[in-house]
Structure 1
Amino acid sequence: METNNKITSEQKEEKTFQYRSYGKGELAMLYLPDIQQQSAVDQFNKWIEAAPGLKERLIATGMNPRSRRYTPAQVRLIIEVLQEP
């Protein structure tokens, strides 16, 4: 029985989302792992556009559409709206 508890504990650790800087493609692929990266980024950007106020909040944190990474603060905002991948 102890082994089962250990496995469950390890699985929980694996599922803990890390709030850190992510490349845009990297984060998009966490949400959409079964498609090509560029398609995932395109779809992810559509979700950000469609989420009321999210894009504005991201821009307020200094997000630049040309940047290739999200800061930990930006990731936190995204997770608040879209939930964990």
Structure 2
Amino acid sequence: MLIPYESLLRLPTSTVDNLIREYLLSQVEDGSFNELNDKAIQAATEKCRQALKKGELIVEYSEDDESVAIRSREQIIQRTPLSED
């Protein structure tokens, strides 16, 4: 289930910050994120917030394993099967 950006605005800031941190840490692990200093993390956090606002990144709740994660729009589109009419 995809969580609309407007719903994120109703969550405590710390909850959204934790989601963003988890997403950024996954970027470090896969090599997409080069630096790990405070300034770089702060800039990446703001960039992530803007991407969420623009819909480039989306928060997804998985009912199967009851987890929440930030994913790129492309990841979600690739995983979504096209319906055949």
TM-score normalised by L of structure 2 = 0.33
Q: Which has the larger radius of gyration?
A: 1
TM-score normalised by L of structure 1 = 0.33
In terms of fraction of residues, the more helix-rich structure is 1
In terms of fraction of residues, the more strand-rich structure is 2
